[in-house]
Amino acid sequence: MNAYKENNKRVVYITESHERSTIGLTLNNLSGHDLKEVFENKGIDWYGPREIYLGGEYNKHALLMLHSDEWYSSNTISVNNNLALSSDGVMIEKMEMGNTPDWYRLFTGCKGWEPDELGHELKGRNPRWLLLPRPSIKLLVNTNHLHMWDRAVTECSQDLFNEYF
């Protein structure tokens, strides 16, 4: 069993938030499935990374790609100035032809919260969240999923230290 599941040491990146809902991706929860096998079973030649991450419990059959913002597909939204999120069949076709973003990570499903649900989780009696308002792109892109929690906590601690000292 994945240690991150047991310890709940998950790093969640919020991709969009508005009055109706908040959506995010769990970045460090490796699924254990081999993406090459999954695609080959569908007749797709896959030469990209074999890892796929469990983004969350909602829409588990959707394939989402968090990626660098220089690349786009037919269903791509900007997440911030450096990242975008795509989810459509065209992205797989483009990637199968070798047209890939500089950086990307593939997910099944996403996290989701109703309008006040996340606020209650953040401000409840026993909050279980550390907030990192501006995670560094290095944290997201260059950190192995096994070390991401520790790196996120280190960045959060450094932000807090910098704010008060």
CATH number at residue 158: 3.40.1740.10
Collapse the DSSP code of 102 into the 3-class scheme (helix H, G, I; strand E, B; otherwise coil) and give the result: coil
Range of the domain at 11: 3-164
Q: What is the pLDDT of residues 120-144, one digit of tens each?
A: 887 777 767 777 777 677 677 778 8
Count of structural domains within the chain: 1
Q: Phi then psi for 84, rounded to 5 degrees?
A: -140, 165
Does 57 have pLDDT greater than 50?
yes
DSSP class of residue 115 equals T
Q: What is the pLDDT of residues 71-119, one digit of tens each?
A: 999 999 998 878 999 999 899 889 888 899 999 999 999 999 998 888 7
> Do 101 and 124 form a contact (C-beta atoms < 8 A)?
no
pTM summary value: 0.83
CA distance 136 to 29: 19
> Do 154 and 34 form a contact (C-beta atoms < 8 A)?
no
> Residue 121: CA atoms inside 13 Å, Cβ hemisphere, count?
12
